[in-house]
A = this chain, B = another copy of it.
Amino acid sequence: VDTTAQPAVHYFEDFSEGRTFASDEIEVSLDDIVRFAREFDPQPFHLDAQAGRASFFGAQVGSGWHTAALTMRLLVESDIAIAGGIVGAGGEIKWPAALLPGDRIHVEIEVIATRPLKSRADMGLITTRTRTVNQSGTAVQELVANLFVPRRDAALGGNAAVGS
């Protein structure tokens, strides 16, 4: 086994509709949920078990923005490994189910479209659907986002003839 091998890095040319990527799983503790909520979403149903039971949710749940932030971490740790990093201009986000203390979550990413960028010849845009899935197989988040991805030929000197 060559332990010096770098993980593959992906350029625009490597992405095509239907290609999938994934991450390992992380566990989210009650303490994680409360700590995030104290700093960013200090509402009683995130901070306190009894308030959670009395709330819309019927239980103490994590902030949707905590799910979103954890999803970003899982994307960074996943095998999508975009050259230059994961850079998005926004997206559409849904939380079909709540994040609960003790949940173990991972991401499943699917490329649903790709297109060259007219405004920047060295880049393309890929549309991804990222499902954040808990230990029961339930999606706690769905995110459709456009990501900027460098072209391999541009990275190798800007000459298309040199590229993939």
* A interface residues (Cβ-Cβ under 8 A, vs B): 36, 39-45, 55-57, 63-66, 68-70, 72-73, 76, 84-95, 142, 148
Q: In the complex the two chains form, what is the Cα distance from A87 to B63 in whole Å? A: 9
Query: Nearest CB to that of A123 among chain B residues?
Result: B56
The docked-state distance in angstroms from the alpha carbon of A142 to that of B41 is: 18
Give Cα distance in the complex from A72 to B73, angstroms: 19
Q: Is the CB of A93 within 8 A of B91?
A: yes
Q: Is the CB of A44 within 8 A of B85?
A: yes
> Contacts A39-B73, A65-B68 given: A95-B89 contact, CB under 8 Å?
yes
Measured CA separation A76–B45 after assembly (Å):
13
- Give the residues in chain B near A84, CB-CB below 8 Å: 55-56
Flag if B56 contacts A63 (CB, 8 Å): no
> When the two chains form their complex, are residues B94 and A90 in contact, meaning their CB atoms are under 8 A apart?
yes
Q: Determine how close the nearest CB of chain B comes to the CB of A122; give it in whole angstroms.
A: 10
In the complex, the answer to whether A56 meets B41 with C-beta atoms within 8 Å is no
